[in-house]
Structure 1
Amino acid sequence: MKTLKRTMRAQKRQQGSVSILVALSLAALLGVAGLAIDAGMGYMIKARLDSAVDGALIAAGQAVTRGASQAEQISNATTAANAFFAANYPTGFLGSTATLSAPSVKIDKGTVTIDLAAQASVPLTLMQIQGFKVLNVATTGEAIRRDLDLSFVIDVTSSMSDTTTQAAVRSGSTGFLNNFNTSTDRVSLMHFATGTVVDVPFKSDQTRGFDRTTMTTKINGYSFGGNTASVDAIWNAKYQLDHVITQPSSLRVIVFFSDGAPNSFAANFTKGATTTCATGGYTIVSSDSPPTSTSSNNNPGAFNNMSVQNQQASCHDPYADNVTSMPATYDVHAASDASSTLPITPASPIAGTLTRPVTSSMPNVASSSSKLANMLIKYQNVNNASRNLMEMMAAKARAEGIYVFALGYGPSLLTKTGAGSGEVGQDILKCIANVADGPSRCYDSKQPVGVYCYAATINDIKPCYAQLASAILRIAK
């Protein structure tokens, strides 16, 4: 009997011990479960917080380009950061409360630094068993935008002379300027056709920024007409970056808009035995297509500056002027920029390859029977030389670390092949931008790789400009 009682008492003690162990185990299990649940919730809050801050940085970086003064730009960036954070972190997300600290926007010369910090707190669930009440999550982000020097080149040739295209070019070009900071970025503006005019040069080294209002007025006042003398436009863009500014920014860019391949170039051609046309030169052919008869209207079409065009009357009929040979070099700027004196004949090397042969011979027009043949020789020489020179000039710019971005517009870029090279205009624009899907002969992975965007219609011009601006801002970070 006593043995039975002792056994029953032992069983009760064992049951009590098991109850304590179960209780302790349950608390531990709840703690582990609470850690897993609350930690998972904290992870999701942190991910959402990071995403909202990253988006706010992007929005602030875009907004800081707007405003006439640094105070306005900082205000715009701050407003955009707050608005974007609020839109991307929903109120009460998983029961949390989030705040974005006051954004820090600093503009030092050409560099913009934006710092953001955000915090979120959320009441814990099962972890409260362990005595923890609130989970605090924090994140920070920084965006640094490098200073920028940009040469902006716009084609105003006769192939875009209809009013609808003109309006699209003006609208897209002025809208493109809105992506850049008028107090920190340096922008120069120029347009080209038969020659090139620098509408607004860079400011001095000590003065950053650019005058967007004046540039908008200039673009809206463009007259369209003339030939595609692209090489001088690229030269002017490079000259602005190399010589007008002697203390360059960390990022240098040429943005080149055109609807066609180069078909002419400026040089000091020799007329007859002893006479040289006035400085500024001229070329032989103004058309993308070769002459088909001796009556073809292929007047010369390139000068190093549009303003000298009317002074070149004696050079407007190269056949009568008895031009007998091509110049050896692209020499019209030799005095001011000897480094950009490029070879023309007998062949122009591009990236180590002899491309588009150019001969020195420019036959006289001896008789009507030989005139067309002579015109074709002149056409091929000038057309090939124009394309070679443009690519060589762009390659020189890239060798100096300058990015080249190209926007091509219209169907002719996909159809016209020039003087028998077999390449369409788009190939040349891809070459100057140094994009991987361009012709293999001109792609150089060691040089800055730009962006080429093709606008098939006028409705594609603005989206292409937006793509170029986005790419520039991305490499500016």
Structure 2
Amino acid sequence: MAYGVKAKLSSALDAAAIAAAKASSGGEAQARQAADKFFAANFPDGYLGSHPALGEVRVATNRDTGTVSVTVDSSATVPTAFMRVLGMDNIEVAARAQVVRQDLDMAFVVDNTTSLRQGSLGDVTDDVIRSAKAFIDKFNQDTDRVALIKYAYGAEVPVEIKKSGRGFEKNRIRREIERFNFGTNSNPNFTNSCEGFWRAKAQLESISTNRSSIRAIVFFTDGAPNTFSSTFVFDGPWGDGRTRSGSLRSGDNLPDPDNANRESGLWDHTRINSSIGSFHNFSRYVRRLPPYYDPRRTGDSEFRLFYPGSRRATSSAVDYDNINRISRNLLEDMAAAARRSNIYVFTLGLGSRLRDPSGPDSENGEDLLLRMANDRNMLGNKKLAADFRADEVSGLYCHAADESELDACYDRLASAIMRLTM
């Protein structure tokens, strides 16, 4: 009986220690509360006649290494039967568990586009802001490093990742999330997902020394990409062969010359919603699309714009099909490059639009988010199984059908990230 109680005690204590480590960002009180809950769930009082007691829960933070060590003790009293004739009415068994939570660098990317305010779900901006703040609260401001990125026509980094030392300013990130300014139907923002992702990847790679053991990008959106950035050559009265860096957008639907869904640009790729002077809505004067993604004019050729594959973008024509396909190709390429650098990608999609066909190839936006994360659930999907990359790190995708499911999705992503750190 004592051996059985000892095994049960150790198992319950492991669960309690892991739960305490996950909750340690809220301090020792929250860690203790989580440990109590999981210990009680895994070792009910009276098991084999025993009476357990959870002892001290100790949380030790090392700001230099970015690790958090959680130690939990417990004991149980086991009643005896035959040993009472020797004067031993009870046997005391004890156990100890320790969990070390590793260091984490994370870039949190949030869609700030029109549809979040006036899309099929109605105005969900308050829910998006609230759930994003709750997600940030799950991480340790003393040991984790976190950057915040927002995107629409272009992308901005309201809070950069800390380059030296550890930790992040949780209250500052919360304030910046509260300042998110989503577009309206009269002043729409389009979805330059790849620019938001590129900035997230650049934030993590800006730490050249003392990188964390675990690096992750968490990417939130409610739609498929339809905008991309590079450096373009302009002809005509607004160009005369001069170059401009910025964003071109295709719109959400098939092109119609009489409405706003036709291709247009340029917009400032360093801002959420800013046109570039007289070059706004003069995309027809772009001489041709460049071969590479290079809005910062560094000569970088890591990400190509043209592909001969199933999502064909094979010419330099400035048209709806090319712009939309390039926007999707770039995002997937950037996610793959991040994974090859052992950066985990976690994606969260909101709303039914992600499950509706869109773009010139009638693709579901959700499929793109699954491939970005390299989610193992693709293996059970005949259409996506071949796209899973077993030689790259695997993250997680979660779909929230509406705003009521956002918290549950963020909890799933946070739990998956925490598991990586233990």
> TM-score range, shorter-chain basis?
0.7 to 0.9
1:461 to 391, 406, 410: 406
Q: What corresponds to 1:182 in structure 2? A: 141
Distance apart, 1:269 and its partner CA: 1.4
CA shift digits 1:146-178 (9 cap, x unpaired): 110000000011111137310111111111111
- For the 8 Å contact 1:229–1:301, the answer to whether it is kept is no
CA shift digits 1:295-352 (9 cap, x unpaired): 5552336542116834343242212xx22311110011353x94x731113x26xxxx
1:393 to 328, 331, 334: 334
Q: What corresponds to 2:61 in structure 1? A: 107
Tell me the number of residue pairs that the alignment of Structure 1 and Structure 2 aligns.
403
Indicate how the Cα distance of structure 1 residues 168 and 284 shifts in structure 2: closer, same or farther if over 3 A, else same: closer
Q: What corresponds to 1:59 in structure 2? A: 19
Return the letter of the residue paired with 1:139: A
* Cα distance in 1 between the residues matched to 2:2 and 2:60: 32
Q: What corresponds to 1:428 in structure 2? A: 368
Report the secondary structure of 2:348's partner residue: strand
2:107 to 131, 151, 176: 151
CA shift digits 1:411-453 (9 cap, x unpaired): 1111132112x42111111111011344245321110101000
Distance apart, 1:43 and its partner CA: 4.0
Q: What corresponds to 2:233 in structure 1? A: 270
CA shift digits 1:39-59 (9 cap, x unpaired): xx3244224423431332133
Q: What corresponds to 2:276 in structure 1? A: 311
* Cα distance in 2 between the residues matched to 1:302 and 1:314: 8
CA shift digits 1:228-247 (9 cap, x unpaired): 00111110000000014542
* Cα distance in 2 between the residues matched to 1:379 and 1:86: 58
Q: Which structure dedicates a bigger proportion of its chain to strand?
A: 2
Is 1:202 aligned to residue 146 of structure 2? no
**Range that drifts further, 379-388 or 127-136:** 127-136
Is 1:121 aligned to residue 87 of structure 2? no
Is 1:292 aligned to residue 250 of structure 2? no
Return the letter of the residue paired with 2:241: T
Return the letter of the residue paired with 1:381: N
Correspondence list, 1:324-339, <5 A: 324-335=287-298, 338=300
What residue ranges of structure 1 are gaps of 5+ in the alignment?
A: 1-40, 67-72, 349-353, 363-376
Distance apart, 1:92 and its partner CA: 6.0
Correspondence list, 1:69-148, <5 A: 73-78=27-32, 80-81=34-35, 85=39, 89=43, 94-109=48-63, 110-129=66-85, 132-148=88-104
**Range that drifts further, 176-185 or 41-50:** 41-50
Distance apart, 1:284 and its partner CA: 4.5
1:169 to 101, 107, 128: 128
Is 1:358 aligned to residue 324 of structure 2? no
* Cα distance in 1 between the residues matched to 2:235 and 2:53: 79
CA shift digits 1:370-398 (9 cap, x unpaired): xxxxxxx7000111111111100110000
Distance apart, 1:355 and its partner CA: 3.9
Indicate how the Cα distance of structure 1 residues 268 and 104 shifts in structure 2: closer, same or farther if over 3 A, else same: same
2:247 to 260, 274, 282: 282
Q: What corresponds to 2:320 in structure 1? A: 379
* Cα distance in 2 between the residues matched to 1:59 and 1:295: 53
* Cα distance in 2 between the residues matched to 1:83 and 1:256: 31
Distance apart, 1:217 and its partner CA: 1.3
Distance apart, 1:400 and its partner CA: 0.2
Return the letter of the residue paired with 2:305: I
Q: What do you get for the CA RMSD once the two structures are aligned?
A: 2.5
- For the 8 Å contact 1:269–1:282, the answer to whether it is kept is no
2:216 to 253, 261, 265: 253
* Cα distance in 2 between the residues matched to 1:199 and 1:398: 24
Report the secondary structure of 2:96's partner residue: strand
* Cα distance in 2 between the residues matched to 1:249 and 1:124: 50
Indicate how the Cα distance of structure 1 residues 465 and 131 shifts in structure 2: closer, same or farther if over 3 A, else same: same
Return the letter of the residue paired with 1:77: A
* Cα distance in 1 between the residues matched to 2:259 and 2:77: 82
- For the 8 Å contact 1:231–1:393, the answer to whether it is kept is yes
TM-score, length-scaled by structure 2: 0.88
- For the 8 Å contact 1:199–1:218, the answer to whether it is kept is yes
Q: Which structure dedicates a bigger proportion of its chain to helix?
A: 1
CA shift digits 1:39-84 (9 cap, x unpaired): xx32442244234313321331133111xxxxxx245434543565
Distance apart, 1:220 and its partner CA: 1.4
